[in-house]
Amino acid sequence: MKHSVKSLPPFLVIGIAVRTTNKDDQSQKDIGELWTRFMRDEILSKIPDRESDDIYALYLDYDNKAHGHYTAIIGCKVHSLEKLPEGFIGKKIPALTYKRYISQGQIPDVVLTTWKHIWASNEPRAFKVDFDFYGPKSRDLQQAEVETYLS
């Protein structure tokens, strides 16, 4: 698993969200159900003003770092938050510096492996906004490349 440091400008995201916690593996259940809803209900096609079909899985609004509740959002980068559909959430993500991990392999296993590494490493983290980026290289679910950004 390769990693580097990268600064990103602010961006806007619209998607669907769930409030969850890592306690008792609740986040795996909740985020798994959020992904199921995202795919089943074709949420991607309902996001207005999206810049592309790239998908962002964001983790933010942490209560107590990795030990409390946080919000998970699955959505897309958009040009504007003005046309927010009912039941969706819009967020402005501030400019931040991230540690970027690049993982390759089968989805969702490759992403889970990256997060298990992060949780076990006790690396210093800001707990502002973390996210997984599913760009063009993630389309082949068997040999995907997914970028994980850690604030």
Q: Which is nearest to 12 in space by CA: 65, 57, 62, 50?
A: 50
Cα separation, 72 vs 59, in Å, equals 5
Give the torsion through C-alpha atoms of 52, 151, 12, 63, to 10 deg: 130
Give 101-151 pLDDT, tens digit per residue.
999 999 999 999 999 899 888 778 899 999 999 999 999 989 999 999 999
Q: State pLDDT tens for residues 8-52.
A: 999 999 999 999 998 888 998 999 999 999 999 999 999 999 999
In the chain, what are the domains? 2-150 (3.20.80.10)
How many other C-beta atoms can be found within 10 angstroms of the C-beta atom of residue 101?
Answer: 20
Question: Which of 67, 66, 74 has its CA nearest to residue 46?
Answer: 74
